[in-house]
Structure 1
């Protein structure tokens, strides 16, 4: 049910954190994965460590996205899975005080790049008889927040993008779903993990009383990419330890 042997995949932002965990999990299940990030050194290092092709890719560069898809299809003879994981948080703050240049960059990386990559990748997936696209959304796109502005807005857009693309591509057997992680223990969340007051408050709002791990998000991605998730499309799979459903008591 979870076998991905012979499948070709792209995972953007796959040199660390959730992206790397997803790439490793897909490889464990038999897939071949092109590793990519905007950092050439990181991409080369992780590519060598995982024994997979790597390609530097700035997801805001349409030509770089096109090269990523062309390289993958050339390397693997086709494409079956695309995971749009690359993203940034941007500057925290209210919309009233927002830096519009930062806002534009967050939307470009977190949302527009996913539209462009899917437009390039999904025809190749359809040509193989079908497959899976997984878009990285966030719990922040499902709740109001006074400090997470452009990021939350972009992630809400990603979940809607998954629904729209699922309708558009479903007749060609291409499934499109989103994953919305909650608070995950990664290198980027290190400062928050070290903030005792924040962690006490946030874990009290999480029924499982702990942060998630990148591997737990990767497990959800494997499910969505594999035959186990073959009848699932247009969904936003929330992996958050129960934070969304609790009243904090």
Structure 2
């Protein structure tokens, strides 16, 4: 059977860049909340594809819809990878909604696709360098690893102080922690799970954040490579992490941020 590569947030800048690389490898199934954008993405990618580019409207905060996505994927072939790029940035929603989408949504995706994982399969979750600037803390780390707990949002909201930026950082730290926490479960099936933390990336979402958050310019000024990254540079990292070339990499995060996190940490130590 052909391998199937499922990409959430598949109509976004990173999602489409990733799909361009994977549509030559097998069947691609794009998931996003916007039917119009999905249709445009599929139409753009199909001429480049070696196989089918399927698409499905999915709200990742709806467990039934995520489960239906997994069922649809299983009907297309053997799962090669689940690549989870779907999420909200700080200017897109309030703190509660960011936790729902970035944390609970990720929990639903990983839960739904674990049963499909087999030997050589990979799960790649997009986190953020914001997850590395959010301190690990015994008060909330264990909460973040279990976003499907009934009281998850209520327990996390006090730590956000109702601030979308804080909620975003916490939610992305949560993605990193979930990947670490679930490595054993995925490994028992011969599969791997990893996260990727992009820095300042030139995508529509990235440009929206840069336009509305002055601190993004400050972060760019502290980036050793002196520029924004591209969606294709994230896609290249994801392609590597889904390949046999990374067959001993699991339960960890790869920063693709031009060195921003390392330099910020260095500057903080020097204060």
TM-score (norm 1): 0.85
Q: State whether residues 7 and 31 of structure 1, in contact with CA within 8 Å, keep that contact through their aligned partners in structure 2.
A: yes
- The answer for the alignment partner of 1:96 in structure 2 is none
Q: CA deviation at 1:147?
A: 7.3
Structure 1 residue 43 corresponds to structure 2 residue 43: no
1:60-85 CA distance string (max 9 Å, x none): 1111111111111112x221200111
Structure 1 residue 135 corresponds to structure 2 residue 125: yes
- Rounded to whole Å, the distance in 1 between the matches of 2:208 and 2:29 is 30
- Rounded to whole Å, the distance in 2 between the matches of 1:119 and 1:125 is 11
- Rounded to whole Å, the distance in 2 between the matches of 1:182 and 1:154 is 16
- Rounded to whole Å, the distance in 2 between the matches of 1:12 and 1:149 is 23
- The answer for the alignment partner of 1:115 in structure 2 is 107
- The answer for the alignment partner of 1:7 in structure 2 is 3
Q: CA deviation at 1:191?
A: 4.5
- The answer for the alignment partner of 1:85 in structure 2 is 85
Q: CA deviation at 1:165?
A: 1.1
- The answer for the alignment partner of 2:170 in structure 1 is 153
- Rounded to whole Å, the distance in 2 between the matches of 1:122 and 1:194 is 38
For these two proteins, the number of residue pairs brought into alignment is: 233
More displaced stretch, 199-208 vs 162-171: 199-208
SS of 1:80's equivalent in the other structure is strand
SS of 1:50's equivalent in the other structure is helix
Distance 1:53 1:208, change over 3 A: same
- The answer for the alignment partner of 1:56 in structure 2 is 57
Q: State whether residues 185 and 193 of structure 1, in contact with CA within 8 Å, keep that contact through their aligned partners in structure 2.
A: no
Q: State whether residues 8 and 31 of structure 1, in contact with CA within 8 Å, keep that contact through their aligned partners in structure 2.
A: yes
- Rounded to whole Å, the distance in 1 between the matches of 2:60 and 2:215 is 32
Unaligned 5+ segments in structure 1 are 93-100
Q: CA deviation at 1:90?
A: 3.6
TM-score (norm 2): 0.79
- Rounded to whole Å, the distance in 2 between the matches of 1:199 and 1:39 is 27
SS of 1:215's equivalent in the other structure is helix
- Rounded to whole Å, the distance in 2 between the matches of 1:27 and 1:190 is 26
Q: State whether residues 89 and 209 of structure 2, in contact with CA within 8 Å, keep that contact through their aligned partners in structure 1.
A: no
RMSD: 2.5
1:151-196 CA distance string (max 9 Å, x none): 000000000100111122212211000000011011122245568x
Structure 1 residue 162 corresponds to structure 2 residue 179: yes
